[in-house]
Amino acid sequence: MTSQQPMQGVSASATATLPSPLPIKDSPAVERALNRSKIYLLVSWSLLYPEDEEFLDYLRSGEFVEDGRVAIDALDVALGAVGGERAKGKLISLKKQLGLVENLIASECVNWQLSDLQSEHRRVFSNVITLDCPPYETLFGNDHVFAQSHVMGDISGFYKAFGVELSKDIHERLDHLSVEFEFMHFLAYKESYSLCHDGPEKTQIVVDAQKKFVKNHIGRWVPLFCRMLTKKADSGLFKLVADMTADWMDFETAFLGVTPQPYTETDYRPATFSSPEGQTYECGAQDQGNELTMLLNEVGAQSFMDVKEKDKENEEGRPSGTA
């Protein structure tokens, strides 16, 4: 952010007309981080199996579309020249996708019951891991379990580096797309918090982590997953979510200035993951502070990355789960 402090040699009358510096919490950089965080959370929540009516209510009430539009509009205003025309174009495309979601909700989803949303999720993703469009990173580009173990360990390392872990209430692996997107949601919000409360060095650590996670993980497998999901769903809510997610990944790579090497159809050689005997992974994404809870309350969403009680951690040690 360019400083607008008065320069030496300027008269008092002239400096009186200069605008005051923006408070850091209202700076474009903070707005960009906050609203990227919100979009990651919306996509993350939309792909998770609906255990109750909370997400369905979020859809039917129109809040999903409204929150998405508010975040994209604010991001558009704060974007400036970051990401260039490619990023700007993807925001326009995302707005169009939200319009299609709004039409679908008005014509179909408004009358859905929870069983309808669950049936649609099972139709696309099935009750077991579907190989048509598996939402798990380690099923892409890894034709043996040793390569999968390496990728799983790297994901776990990212999570542990930021002191987060998977909630016991969610029955998913740490390489599930919803989990990885919520981790990015967490990092983007952490960036906004760091901009307001920490120095540039700590902020840069969080920014670098986002770039690496996009370049080495979600930027590699999510584009292919979206194409597979679009083909499998063919129509309906999850087809639109797939298109939104694909546009969002294009935006993120442009915004962050990274160039992942995305997997292609010929790279898709799934092998059922099984961890080496006796090996477990501490994983997930769970904030040790209260910033994540504040954001979730703001957007009306429920995180599956619960805040860990420090007292419990001291008594029982860090919990671990088998991936």
DSSP 89-154: HHHHHHHHHHHHHHHHHHHTGGG--HHHHHHHHHHHHTTTT-SSS--BGGGSS--SHHHHHHHHHH
d(CA 254, CA 182): 20
Q: How far apart are CA 78 and CA 61, in angstroms?
A: 27
| CB of 112 closer than 8 Å to CB of 56 | yes
Q: Residue 26: CB partners within 8 Å, gap ≥ 6?
A: none
Q: Which residue has the higher pLDDT, 96 or 308?
A: 96
Cα gap 45→68, rounded to integer Å: 12
Please state the domain extents for the chain.
24-267
Secondary structure class of 176 (helix, strand, coil): strand
pLDDT the model gives residue 181: 97
For residue 188 the two structure tokens come to 């983007």
* CATH code, residues 24-267: 1.10.3480.10
Classify residue 243 as left (phi > 0), alpha (psi -120 to 50) or beta: alpha
Residue pLDDT, tens place only, 75-95? 999 999 898 999 999 999 999
Amino acid at 147: A
Q: What are the residues facing 136 on neighbouring strands?
A: 176
pLDDT digit string, tens, across residues 207-236? 999 999 999 999 999 999 999 999 999 999
- Say whether 160 sits in a helix, a strand or coil: helix
281 three-class SS: strand
Three-state DSSP at 19 gives coil
Residue 218 CA, distance from chain mean position: 10
pLDDT over 80 (residue 304): no
The residues, any chain, with a CB within 8 Å of residue 295's CB and separated by 6 or more, are 34, 37, 38, 41, 185, 189
- Give mean pLDDT, residues 283-299: 40
Average pLDDT for residues 295-299, to the nearest whole number? 41
| pLDDT tens digits along 95-152 | 999 999 999 999 999 899 999 999 999 999 987 777 888 999 988 876 666 678 888 9
Provide CB contacts within 8 A for 55, sequence distance 6+.
Answer: 45, 46, 48, 117
pLDDT in tens, 8-35: 333 333 333 333 344 566 689 999 999 9
DSSP string, 254-265: HHHT-------G
> Do 242 and 224 form a contact (C-beta atoms < 8 A)?
no
CA distance linking residue 226 with residue 229, whole number of Å: 5
pLDDT band at 266 (very low <50, low <70, confident <90, very high): confident
Q: Which residues of 107-134 are buried (b: 16+ CB within 10 A; e: fewer)?
A: eebeebeeeebeebbeebbeeeeeeebb
What is the model's pLDDT at position 267? Answer: 73
